[in-house]
Amino acid sequence: MNCNAMVLEDFNRPLVKKSIEIKEPVGEEVVIKILAAGMCGTDLGISRGIELKPGFKLPMVLGHENVGKIISTGTNVKNFNIGDIVAVYPAWGCGNCRWCHNGFPNLCPYQTTPGQTGYNGGYAEYMMVPSYRWLYNIGKLKPVDIAPLVDAGTTSMGAVLKILPSLLPSSTVIINGIGGIATYAVQILRALAPYVRIIAVSRKPEHLQFASKLGADIAITPAELPELIDKETHGSGVDAAIDLVSTADTIPLLNKLLTVNGKLVLVGAYGSSAPIDVFPTMVYQHSIMGSNYGTYENMVDVINMYARKFIKSYVVKRQLEEANKGLMDMASGVIIGRQVIVQNE
């Protein structure tokens, strides 16, 4: 079967609309008709030739935040039927390593990801999924709202759960970088720890206003942050920070603002390295950790939080042919929330 797709043929060049082949599924494979494909900052990075995973090859159809309708299956597919509307978990682990066996395919060193390694993604009319095990039936929920939850929501859940056990009613948490992922990080933290004081940080006034709408108690610029933290915590520092930017500027700043046993979770990948002050990090036992996606169960939990109206999606809809426009708007920083390519059933 052939279908239309927006294909990345060369780095730093516009995606090209062309026909690609979708093979008939065998075994556990499933073919879905794409109903909603979220546009992620990683897609922008890949289009520029950065943030490439080992094994990446051109040409590639981008898009790892996908919801679609099952149109055909291999003979070994269980618990799913033609016509089901499904979200596609994007971290496809090998199934054989210790990380996969322990329920962490997002940490699998051999994983593949649609639109990044091995398989084309959802900037297309149809998409092949290698196993039904990566699918979750969303029933009658809105595909356009669910697509960003597959990555942005799941990644936010993975990061929040890393700090949640150490948070107390007196805790303060910084969320740095109010973009697409923060759309969910702020809401999830507010829902799971309503007693925590959330400080959102961004350079853009409109993003700070958005953070307040999402549930942040305080929204402030990076330049104002140190003085505010000193005042709000009486000099003791914050219990945790989630850095959705992670640069040579943001990492040492946030680490410096942590209290004893404070945790800094790095989610963004906009910097290649950063200096830290070793002595206070050691003496006050700061923890600096990465957070990559989340688990399949994290995705299911986030979708259920949406279904129960604990969180919302804030999306800008795009047509398939508008993928290049979406990438340009993402690069310029004018988008608040997440962009989603939508197609009719």
**pLDDT tens by residue, 245-304:** 999 999 999 999 999 999 999 999 888 899 999 999 999 999 999 999 999 999 999 999
Distances (CA, A) of 113 to 75, 90, 136, 168: 23, 6, 16, 36
Q: Is residue 303 part of a domain?
A: no
Instruction: State pTM to two decimals.
Output: 0.95
Phi and psi at 254, nearest 5°, equal -70, -40
Helix (H) or strand (E) holding 303: helix 296-307
Q: Is the Cβ–Cβ distance between 38 and 142 less than 8 Å?
A: no
Phi and psi at 301, nearest 5°, equal -65, -40
Strands of the chain (E only): list them: 2-8, 16-21, 30-39, 60-61, 65-73, 85-88, 126-129, 135-137, 172-176, 197-201, 218-220, 238-243, 258-266, 287-290, 315-318, 338-342
Neighbours of 146 (CB within 10 A): 28
Shared domain for 181 and 243, answered yes or no, is: yes
Q: Residue 262 belongs to what domain range?
A: 155-290
**In this predicted structure, what is the pLDDT of residue 83?**
98
Q: Is residue 15 part of a domain?
A: yes
**pLDDT tens by residue, 119-137:** 999 999 999 999 999 999 9
Question: What is the percentage of the chain residues whose pLDDT exceeds 70?
Answer: 100
Q: Is residue 261 part of a domain?
A: yes
- Given a cut of 80, whether residue 345 has pLDDT beyond it is no
Q: Is residue 59 part of a domain?
A: yes
Q: Is residue 299 part of a domain?
A: no
Shared domain for 13 and 112, answered yes or no, is: yes
Give the Cα-Cα-Cα angle 184, 186, 189 (nearest 5 degrees): 100
The CATH number given to whatever domain includes residue 220 is: 3.40.50.720
- Given a cut of 80, whether residue 72 has pLDDT beyond it is yes
Shared domain for 113 and 186, answered yes or no, is: no
Q: Is residue 101 part of a domain?
A: yes
Give how many domains the chain has, as a whole number.
2
181 Cβ partners below 8 Å, 6+ apart? 152, 155, 156, 244, 267
d(CA 261, CA 268): 22
Length in residues, the chain: 345
Question: What is the percentage of the chain residues whose pLDDT exceeds 90?
Answer: 93
Q: Is residue 13 part of a domain?
A: yes
Q: Is residue 100 part of a domain?
A: yes
d(CA 102, CA 297): 12
Shared domain for 258 and 178, answered yes or no, is: yes
| DSSP label of 5 | E
